[in-house]
Structure 1
Amino acid sequence: MSDLRPRASLRTAVVWEVLKDALDRRAKAAGHEAHGGQGVLDVLDTGGGSGNFAVPVAGLGHRVTVVDPSPNALFALERRAAEAGVADRVRGVQGDAHGLFDVVERGGYDVVLCHGVLEYVDDPAEGLGNAVAALRPGGVLSVLAAGLGGAVLARALAGHFKEARRALDDPDGRWGEGDPVPHRFTAEQLTALVGDAGLTVAAVHGVRVFADLVPGVLVDTEPGAMEALLKLEAAAAELPAFHSVATQLHVLGEARGTAEA
């Protein structure tokens, strides 16, 4: 992913590879149904911030609309898109998941990204429902959210055992009043949300299974460590046994129906 620095790629590589494959499949399907060949997709990135995913997606040739509540993030998005030469394919609008259809079209997108959103909305089911309602028939939803197990493990390894236990017992997975994340999810909870929203769960991946636990100095100084860790993350991502300790969880959902011509 050319838009990402090596260190950042540890946090996003798994999601990007899954997302890129999904975009390729959807583009081929849309192109075949419309006129043959590869289709250009309309992609919505809710909470897309400064374009960590939006700009590379646009680099694949797709049209991307980013919805984010932060004017500063949208300004950074505009600058990043210009630097990458994709400004004509990236549009930023100010808004949030709750009022999504105040700023974008309902049912107007082939692919919707909902990354780092469900943790912060008051009602995750409602937020996800809006993301699903933005999809065209046959569309794809990419959900990335904070994992409960990763937070519990991180607090325990830091010696904060009471906080780890509190997160484990808390309905929202919070370790205390100072916890900046309002909601965390297990893989079962997140897939249930996607399924209840009417989508078919196509894939589940654990993200940042090891990356947040390995000392940075080891990755930065040990020859070949970065590449080896990336391969380890990719190998563990699909194994259910590691979903329970991942810092983040990624779910790919597919809407029923076929693409519109």
Structure 2
Amino acid sequence: MPDPSPGGKTPPRQPRSALRTSVVWEVLKDALDRRAKVRGTDSLDVLDTGGGSGSFAVPVARLGHRVTVVDPSPNALFALERRAAEAGVADRIKGVQGDVHGLFDVVERDGYDAVLCHGVLEYVDDPAEGVRNTVAALRADGTISLLAAGLGGAVLARALAGHFTEARQALTDPAGRWGDGDPMPRRFTAEQLTTLASDAGVEVGAVHGVRVFADLVPGVLVDTEPRALEALLKLEAAAAELPAFHSVATQLHVLGEKRA
């Protein structure tokens, strides 16, 4: 995750982390900038559900926003506290223990300008309820960012690894799992994720395929070939919004606003 400096510039990033987060980060940063302009403020109230150790929360706080992180893991929240302190944003980040199903036991409804729900819906018992709760935490016209595992990327990865039966299993399994050894409880298609958002009261603004190529390119190529990382990042950004590539992305990102 890029860690913006107070002046808004982004220092050099490690290749692997840049490939995993660049598309979502750039889209999210732009969305927060737009929301701040609409509200006429430099500082938004942002909720990060399942935010863990702060891979998104800390960079968001360094942009000047106030971030509340809800996560069920005490260890993750401890790491968040340490990370926030090291980044000099401890005064703008609050961590609370909880989960998206019991969200309003720890945060208020209608209290946030933006909500992040990244890497959560794959693991919860009821994704629809999880999305409804995140939307209910938003103020009117607030911004929501959903990021979840994509079905197509897993199918492609298993097939390219020679596990053709597992690839077919993922295609036909209701949860998109390739077998009992699959560590991911659930995967989504772009249609499934946008339907969850729309049914919960979100006006979907954009859908992005994340890590369309990054997980398929050998790491040694990215790390050693001159300008390969820069070129691959540009390719990822160019393909992210094209529907044709959503079906093979490792992750899917939905950005939208709470309907009035």
TM over 0.5: same fold?
A: yes
- Structure 2 match to 1:30: 39
- Structure 2 match to 1:35: none
Q: Per-residue displacement from partner, 1:153-186 (whole Å, max 9, x unpaired)? A: 0000011110000000011100001111111000
- Structure 1 match to 2:24: 15
1:82 matches 2:85: yes
C-alpha distance in 1 between matches for 2:200 and 2:75: 31
- Counterpart of 2:168 in structure 1: which amino acid? R
1:245 matches 2:245: no
Gaps of 5+ in 1: 32-37
Is 1:42–1:109's contact at 8 Å kept on the other side of the alignment?
yes
- Structure 1 match to 2:121: 118
Provide the aligned C-alpha RMSD in A: 0.9
Is 1:29–1:39's contact at 8 Å kept on the other side of the alignment?
no
Match of 2:38, SS? helix
Q: How far has the Cα of 1:6 moved from its partner? A: 3.2
1:198 matches 2:207: no
Q: Per-residue displacement from partner, 1:212-235 (whole Å, max 9, x unpaired)? A: 010111111111111111011001
Aligned length: 251
C-alpha distance in 2 between matches for 1:234 and 1:185: 21
Q: How far has the Cα of 1:43 moved from its partner? A: 0.2
Identity of aligned residues (%): 82
C-alpha distance in 1 between matches for 2:258 and 2:177: 31
TM-score by length of 1: 0.94
1:57 corresponds, among 51, 54, 60, to 60
TM-score by length of 2: 0.95
- Structure 1 match to 2:223: 220
Q: How far has the Cα of 1:39 moved from its partner? A: 3.6
Is 2:3–2:62's contact at 8 Å kept on the other side of the alignment?
no
Moved over 6 A (4+): none
Is 1:148–1:247's contact at 8 Å kept on the other side of the alignment?
yes
Alignment of 1:72-221 (within 5 A): 72-221=75-224
